[in-house]
Every structure is written in C-alpha cells, then in structure tokens.
Amino acid sequence: MENKSQRMTKQRRIILDELRKLTSHPTADELYEIVRQRLPRISLGTVYRNLDVLSENGEVLKLESAGSQKRFDGDVSQHCHVRCVSCGRVGDVQEALPEPDVSGVSAPGFTITHGVSEFYGVCEACRGGDELAAPGGRIRQ
C-alpha cells in the first residue's frame, strides 16, 4: 500500500508548482495567499501540512532560523541564502560555495553530520541608501 504522505495530491502539486515559480522564499502564510488564487477553498493548515511533507520528501527546502518565521524554497539544489536582519527577507547567494567542512568539529553529546552556511545582511528595501545594518537589525551609518 502506498504511503499517503508520499502521494503527490493535486493540492500538493499546486503548492509545489507555485513555490517553484518564486525566488522570494515565502512563508507558509505568503504561499497560502498565492495558492488560494488557484485553489480558493484550500486551508492554511493544508498548506502547512503539505509543505512539511514536501520538506520531509526533499522536494522543497525549509529555511529555519531562530527568532524568524520558517520560509520555503522550491530550489533544492545546493546553494546558500542571505537573510535580511531587519525584515527577515531571504535571498539566494549567487556564488557557488562549498558545503561547510565538519571534519574536526565537535560538540558534547552530538555527532555532527553536516553544516549549512547562511549569511546575514540588509535587503535593498530596508537599507534605504548606502547605510549598513548592525547585528540585530539596527541600521548604522
């Protein structure tokens, strides 16, 4: 018998299709508003559940950062992200960077299997000129 969570339902296919059209790395709420254009009766809970399944199946990336809403990426190729410290917007880093080397890295009680590089900065919309952001999202000159 086929595992229900593995089936590509119509709703799941549309959620995946809409996410793959985007480069904005939306939250589930933002993607819900987009998917509702095609599936007016879909619930927010259905979008959340399907994004979890798609993430578990490796068909989308779930971008999690402490203190920020989860965002999703339809591009599952190896690439790094940059997160705006002011508004939380996420973008793709253009340069191809190697995966972090975890050999020789240790933490008590853990077996480290891999690492992820994420960069932080200020997006153009929040920057408003040539100002730079300090850690924590405050703008400094």
| Residues 81-108 pLDDT 10s | 999 988 888 999 988 777 788 888 889 9
The strand pair at 81-84 and 118-121 is best described as parallel
pTM: 0.75
Fold classified for 78-141: Dna Ligase; domain 1 (3.30.1490)
Interval 100-123 mean pLDDT = 88
> What number does CATH give the domain 1-74?
1.10.10.10
Interval 40-61 mean pLDDT = 96
Q: What CA–CA distance (Å, rounded) separates 140 from 53?
A: 41
Is there a shared CATH topology between the 1-74 domain and the 78-141 domain? no
Give the pLDDT score at 129. 57
Q: What CA–CA distance (Å, rounded) separates 49 from 44?
A: 9
